Amino acid sequence: MSKSKRYNMEIVNKYSTKEFEDKYTYTENDLGANWTKDKTVFKIWSPVAEKMSLNLYRTGNATEDTLISSQEMKLEDKGVWTACVKEDIKNVYYTYTSVIDGVSSEFCDPYAKACGVNGKRAMVINLEETNPDNWDKDSNPNEKLPLCESFIYELHTRDFSADKSSDIKNRGKFLGLAETGTTVDGEGKIKSGLDHIKELGITHLHLLPFYDYATIDESKEYDSKEYNWGYDPLNYNVPEGSYSTNPFDGDVRIRELKETIKELHENGISVIMDVVYNHTYNEDFCFNKAVPGYFYRMDKDGVMSDGSACGNDTASERSMVSKYFVDSVLYWAKEYHIDGFRFDLVGLIDVDTINKIREGLDKIRPNIMMYGEGWTLNTKLTKKNVLLATQKNVDKLNNFAMFSDNIRDAIKGSVFEEDEKGFISGDTEGYDELKKSILGLPDWSSTPNEVVNYTSCHDNYTLFDKIHLCNEGISFEQAVKQNLLAISIVMLSQGIPLMHAGEEMLRTKEDENGEYVSDSVRSSDYVNSIKWDNLKKKEYYDVYEYYKGLIAFRKAHKVFMMSDAKEIKKKISFIDTDDEKVIAYKLIEDDKEIYVIFNADDKERDVKIGSENDVFKCYINDKKAGNSELESCNGVVSVKGTSCKVLIPVLNNGSRISYN
């Protein structure tokens, strides 16, 4: 193995020693620029710098030579450098310049709260001035909602409003998330945007990363071909500039994001932020310039760990990296009133850091959601005895849920094998896994509170595309049936349901050549944007109504939202159907029984759930879902091919009534 060209390994190999951590772990909460009218105090942590300077600029664009002044900073305790400017420098931009090993480099403040265009210069800010009116009265509208009673909608900010059919004025922007009164193509019949998701009945909007990310050039005009999901973190504590109406002015994106969150809250919707602490965009990350090599996992020769498959893994097990992540999450929760956090590849972050975040969040507000991707990945830890926040360690975490690939793959087949089928296509390999998932208890979990159920998200093919790929030549009608069966399983299982935005409109990610795109991270709006005008077609509108009906039905029956494993085992029992293509179960809610049947065969099946004299009312069938009675039948139920049926027996004085 070659020695690192980038890092002085003699220094890097000391970072993980107890001596280094004891000597240089800084525990105060004042890193960054702290503005008051009389003075601004700057603090930056770098125990390895020989010299550190503060540079003040008139403008935030790093291509403009607008330096006001530079001053040397003073080294204080624990490797913290400080400077104080004794005048009002609100809205002045700044950077730091370090000299390390004789080499000087200029970088943005890792603790920047505001910055200029493209995030190269930080800005001194009075955050109070960015607050909307009555911000102090703003709160999480679902603060008291138990976890499993939430409905999460996973959305990319730009996808929501990039297409003209959305009728949204602030296309591709934060503000576009919060516009009300919009209708598809502005025709006034079918709702779009925020009104649409409200009507659908979701409670939580999970937004793909919206901290300042690297690859979109914010200085250019709106370009419909330039696009990124945002898993390329640049400034962790600043909102992304391309989602604001003016990325040049450091105040604007902050104010617009807060206004958006407040508006969503007022419409009953909580906001979940997708956070990516497991890797940075690249090694030019500002913290890594301040303390080279400290932020990442690498072996003794400087070979970088790459469990994230993004070129680097952050070393969350080091005290100041851990502190940085904790400080960052708590800052978003406090300053922006964020109601939940989705952790990208959380299986790369250590359990202690995640539990510290949990503890901090619990002190801010009750019921701030935390969940993430707990996949087990190969990473080079810099210390011994570090536990990682993987699915199998979920019991070591406090109130943290994991995405369930168990239910996802059992429903539709592996996301890694495009032609592999799942239950909805009649493949029963995942039968046992599916039954465990229906109870919200895959092998790694002990309560549905730890389980996020989904069948598709931004990653991989959309559900509708996957169905087409693994069922060659499938008809539109049959593909719709499989789609509805898939979401029925998610909505009628124990756990926290999450859906991919647009799934309720049969979202596809087809490119200009008619090819389905699996990884649309850099694809154009053409591929990624939500095409609202689909809702004008009857077959698509029926699908949307079905999703809405499923959510409404689940909301009306708490027995689908239990959190205790013992109670679940007491109240849910599977019915022997003697056929792995047909899963049927009974739930007991108070004095009532609810029967759920999933028929994955494409042929109609009879399923016996009672006698021929019993009377059942059906609330969900192959065509409709909701809380109104669709049809009556007896205890031998005919279930259409590739469909779900939900029935409740009619009772009289607590006993089943009979046709006789």
Residue 127 CB, nearest approach to Ca ion (Å): 19
Stretch that binds Ca ion, among 44-52, 204-212, 434-442, 467-475 (CB under 5 A): 204-212
- Pick the closer one to Ca ion by CB: 93 or 595: 93
Q: Is 68 helix (H, G, I), strand (E, B) or coil?
A: strand
Residue 599 CB, nearest approach to Ca ion (Å): 48
Residue 233 CB, nearest approach to Ca ion (Å): 10
Residue 121 CB, nearest approach to Ca ion (Å): 13
Q: How far apart are CA 630 and CA 645, in angstroms?
A: 11
Cα atoms in the Cβ-side hemisphere of radius 13 Å centred on 226 = 12
Stretch that binds Ca ion, among 37-45, 180-188, 207-215, 325-333 (CB under 5 A): 207-215
How far, CA to CA in Å, does 357 sit from each of 139, 322, 350, 648? 20, 9, 11, 43
- Pick the closer one to Ca ion by CB: 53 or 118: 118
Q: Is 524 helix (H, G, I), strand (E, B) or coil?
A: coil
- Pick the closer one to Ca ion by CB: 176 or 241: 241
Q: How far apart are CA 530 and CA 321, in angstroms?
A: 37
Residue 119 CB, nearest approach to Ca ion (Å): 5
- Spatial CB neighbours of 28, under 8 Å, sequence gap ≥ 6: none
The DSSP bridge partners found for residue 75 are 81
Residue 235 CB, nearest approach to Ca ion (Å): 8
Q: Which residue has the tokens 């898993």?
A: 231
Cα atoms in the Cβ-side hemisphere of radius 13 Å centred on 641 = 10
- Pick the closer one to Ca ion by CB: 241 or 497: 241
Interface residues for Ca ion in 442-501 (CB under 5 A)? none
* Closest-CA residue to 578 (of 606, 613, 602, 603): 606
Q: Which residue is nearest to Ca ion (CB)?
A: 212
Q: Considering the rule CB under 5 A, would residue 212 count as an interface residue with Ca ion?
A: yes
- Pick the closer one to Ca ion by CB: 242 or 314: 242
Provide the token pair at 187: 């025709």
* Closest-CA residue to 49 (of 75, 20, 23, 85): 75
- Pick the closer one to Ca ion by CB: 212 or 427: 212
# residues contacting Ca ion (CB under 5 A):
2
Provide the token pair at 92: 């002045």
Query: Are 80 and 41 in contact, with CB atoms under 8 Å apart?
Result: no
Phi, psi of 626 (to 5 degrees): 160, -160
Please state whether beta strands 67-72 and 103-107 pair in parallel, antiparallel, or not at all (unpaired). Answer: unpaired
* Closest-CA residue to 386 (of 358, 426, 351): 351
Query: Are 530 and 468 in contact, with CB atoms under 8 Å apart?
Result: no
- Pick the closer one to Ca ion by CB: 12 or 117: 117
Stretch that binds Ca ion, among 183-191, 205-213, 456-464, 472-480 (CB under 5 A): 205-213
Residue 145 CB, nearest approach to Ca ion (Å): 33
Residue 57 CB, nearest approach to Ca ion (Å): 18
- Spatial CB neighbours of 395, under 8 Å, sequence gap ≥ 6: 446
- Pick the closer one to Ca ion by CB: 253 or 581: 253
Provide the token pair at 638: 């005919």
How far, CA to CA in Å, does 126 sit from each of 36, 55, 129? 8, 19, 6
Please state whether beta strands 152-155 and 496-500 pair in parallel, antiparallel, or not at all (unpaired). Answer: parallel
- Pick the closer one to Ca ion by CB: 116 or 241: 241
Interface residues for Ca ion in 225-244 (CB under 5 A)? 241
- Spatial CB neighbours of 6, under 8 Å, sequence gap ≥ 6: 283, 292, 293, 302
Task: Provide the CA 500 distance to its chain's centre, in angstroms.
Answer: 10
* Closest-CA residue to 332 (of 230, 233, 229, 239): 239
Interface residues for Ca ion in 241-300 (CB under 5 A)? 241
- Would you name the residues annotated as active-site residues? 344, 373
Q: How far apart are CA 232 and CA 218, in angstroms?
A: 14
How far, CA to CA in Å, does 388 sit from each of 4, 248, 396, 401, 553? 26, 39, 9, 14, 37
Helices and strands in the chain: count of H runs, count of E runs = 15, 29
- Pick the closer one to Ca ion by CB: 258 or 408: 258
**How many other β-carbons are positioned within 10 Å of the β-carbon of residue 385?**
6
- Pick the closer one to Ca ion by CB: 240 or 433: 240
Query: Are 415 and 459 in contact, with CB atoms under 8 Å apart?
Result: yes
Return the amino acid letter for 281. Y
Residue 452 CB, nearest approach to Ca ion (Å): 28
Q: 638: part of which helix (H) or strand (E)?
A: strand 636-639
Residue 106 CB, nearest approach to Ca ion (Å): 18
Residue 133 CB, nearest approach to Ca ion (Å): 28
Binding site for Ca ion (CB under 5 A): 212, 241
